[in-house]
Structure formats: structure tokens, C-alpha cells
Chain A
Amino acid sequence: ILNVEQSPQSLHVQEGDSTNFTCSFPSSNFYALHWYRWETAKSPEALFVMTLNGDEKKKGRISATLNTKEGYSYLYIKGSQPEDSATYLCALGMDSSYKLIFGSGTRLLVRP
């Protein structure tokens, strides 16, 4: 069974704090790594798709890095805001079928 692990499970931070989460996956099974942001009652929002070892992507205050050799990706949020409160999901694409295997997510709560 292929496991995608995310840590921590949940995180409470103060507004203005910077934070980061981890996604771990088996390095031998890799095609693409996706990050999503999911707010309750809304569609999961695609943040990043990364495919190359050493990839680094940025969207506003959010950035992500990828290490395919050791099987992990980090998501960073700089200067967290209350509107960043959501569950952050990573998902592994294993092949060109586009099927995704999701981690259980990191639930972020940013206190004003």
C-alpha cells in the first residue's frame, strides 16, 4: 500500500507567524507532487504541481520545495493570515493516468 504522509496533522499559529508543513512519499514511486488548499464547503484549490527534483514554486506568500530523491516536499507560508486557515493536502501522482494518492492533510488555524 502506497502511503503519503503529512505532518503535522494540525497546527495553530498566530497571525504574522511563518509556518511550514511536510509531505513524505515513497521516492521510488514518483511522477508528480500536488499541493491543494481546501476550505470547508469549498472546492480544493490547486496550489502547485511539481515534477522535478529541486523544484521550488511560489504563489504570493506560499511556496513549496520538492526532493524526489529522499521523498519529501515542504510547503511554507510566510506571515500567516487568518484567511490562510484551511486544510492543506498533498497528493502523489504515480503515472500518466493522473490518479492521485492523497495524504491526510494538515489543518492550519491562524488566530488573529
Chain B
Amino acid sequence: SAVISQKPSRDICQRGTSLTIQCQVDSQVTMMFWYRQQPGQSLTLIATANQGSEATYESGFVIDKFPISRPNLTFSTLTVSNMSPEDSSIYLCSSQQDTQYFGPGTRLTVL
């Protein structure tokens, strides 16, 4: 199994600002993912973040809005840029090992 931590656990931000979410895995993993859950919606994949390559974004998500870093095999960051109230969501990172393990999420509210 894997233990994944995220920082911050929650934040309230003003529109137009940016927030960087950190994700730390307790072991080295090749594949990491970023998801979000908007209010009343399903968990939706934003992008796949593999170490040593550019992140791969799903339809509807772009690098300018959600830049991702993956500097090593245990860490990744997701930035939510130029935030609007529609970005209010829970953001989760995950890592793929024998199954997919998730962090506890970052609850973001944009005013």
C-alpha cells in the first residue's frame, strides 16, 4: 500500500489568484494522477503526471490553467491558476501501484 499526503488540506482563495497543491508519496512511483471533484459531481481526472515527461491532460483541462510538476518519483504539484469560483472543488492526487492509492484531498473554495 501507499501513504499519500497533500498540502494544504483546505484553503479559501480570492478569484484571480493561484494556489499550488503539493502531493507526497511514501514510496517511489512512476505514475501519479490529479483528480478533482466539483460539488455534486464525480471525481474527474485532470492529468497524468509521470516523472521525466510532460504531464498528459484530459479533454477540457489545459496546462496554462493547471500546470503540473513532477520533479522526482515521490512528489508532484498541481497549480490552479487564475482561479474563479468554478474552480471550487476537492483536488486529489493518486499514485498507481498494485492499485491506485489516493491522498486525502485539498478542499479549495474560491470567493
Contact = CB atoms under 8 A, between A and B. Distances in A.
Main secondary structure of the interface of A (DSSP, over half): loop
Interface residues on B, range: 20 to 34
A52 interface: no
A59 interface: no
Interface in A50-86: none
B42 A103 contact: yes
A44 B102 contact: yes
Contacts of A49: 99
B96 interface: yes
A56 B9 CA distance: 36
B63 interface: no
B14 interface: no
Contacts of B102: 36, 43-44
Contacts of A105: 42
